[in-house]
Structure 1
């Protein structure tokens, strides 16, 4: 229970009347205000009925609806506030009579949403009562599973698109299965000219999809993955891409597992089928650490496994920083198909493209040009070791990794 500004002002005004009225009158006026305040506050002492509507699971960085409704009471003014944290942002977080807004989880993992704070003010506007209503609720924030499922659905339906990768309906393996009618997305090399001549319209060979292959996702959580890219870290971009690749692996019948490492191996998840959702949720708690990564130690965990596709999610900062990776990849590439995936920084690209108008912008452009040249050098050296390299903006890293994965499957590299 607490007084409002109106109560304080009335008490002060009643007290000031002592200078012009008898003291007994002033005391009586103060007493009247105090009694009115007490009665007014007492009328709103009951805990209000509150309903909070929010999803139990959200995707990092994706806004979801958030609402708090309070059962109306005659002549009672209600102010609602939802406490926020640095990891959970709600806009707006306060409202009169309720809240209708959006909630965004800034980080992956488990988050706690504290009870709603409701302040009820009595009909006279003199007294109010503040309640913390309900219990704290836990929210789980994941990598971009919905986006991963959309990509996987496009692959299943044959509508997946990415520059440099054209893919028709599933069935681009190496074992002949049947002949079917040509579609615009089919590879011209698969046209069956004899069947086309007999039927009078284009026909193509359908190949059985190669399945039961192993796919290892090696997640670097060292210092290189801690730098931000827009509203996410490089590790966030890597996990979004991993979720997409894992979802597509589920669609095409491959097994997917993961190795999490920085200066040492932190976690190993053996390849399994239909593992995308479970694997993504299992890695939600990963956060980057400020240590150098040991690629050789991580590669040793998969080096002796049967031939697989190994996707290394890391960062190609420059040739010097990539040297430990360059030294470790050749041994792995002798046995496995290796794909190195890295997210590019849009700020670097913008600094090079935009015409500088000041000395500072010119200096930034020069540094950005040098950094991009170093990345190109690291990418070239990695390609020379036998690895495929995907270096793409964070928002396109998932589709580019899926495209590379499907290309490797279609050419029987795995």
Structure 2
């Protein structure tokens, strides 16, 4: 059995966390392939190493003294080395990095050093070989992962080794130049390895025991989701409920390799397993609730709109010209609405509306601000008639005015738009009404 184990920044923040990682690895012989993020925060007011590296780059750019920031990084790694009784000469790596700190240093190289240095210490601590991601994870020049080249290099490595510790978050271009992924990219590294090695499980170790059914800042002690499909996770992640980089899903999805979200601090609590399909019946009608505030609705009205061809296209072309992403397009007989993020349009909204009115020959256009969108997601809902009706009824009974409704044809997701001020109340009401 093969398990890819990826440990996030909080799991490798200090020597105490390293010890927890070692205990987890040694408890299961299938955990032979380890990916680590850069050392994260030890406490709430601490700094992530990656954040410090980005700050160093900014200080260099504007000719501000960066040495106090670099000292924080040095202290972090030297302290971990000392407390773990390690022998790897990480001082040499730190000195080499310090010597390269000038305005010509590559951002990708600089920022990747957090993962690199963390993995170096972890490899010695676990007694595993260190495998540099730049020697395995290959990017094409267009920024896409070259899976064929990556697969070939990993296959060559596996002829001599049966385990490793690899830094996440970066790889290299064909010429060897370091290239980083987007923030949280260590999740993607683990997913790529799971795909290529045909892993039985991809374990993503974080500081939470899986994915919760609702935001714990709104709902007191929400239940954990035991299993969730990739599609459900995509819906919830889009609305803000995310503990996993969404691009980490795609390399494992086609092979239906399960992803298990687990807590390094409490491995005994279990986690959330993410699958391509889960046909097992569940007592829970919904899988999770997530949402966001601060949307703007542009409502366009025109008599006999249903007889006109292309009117929605014309409005969308105006949005495209302003490079505005569309969230939803609910429609009626003589009207339709375009839902956008307020932050995207706040500086151009009146110019956009003017162009839309002209392009669509609209009778009226209204702008509605301060709208929150809440998604209720669940694969079980499609098998139970009347879910939408029950949801709308309980919101009405709690004096929550629904300003917008959207539901996909697969009946897996119901989205309601409410006033920002009703956001928390709506989430609580749905949770209390549908979660057993």
TM superposition score normalised by structure 2: 0.25
* Structure whose CA Rg is larger: 1
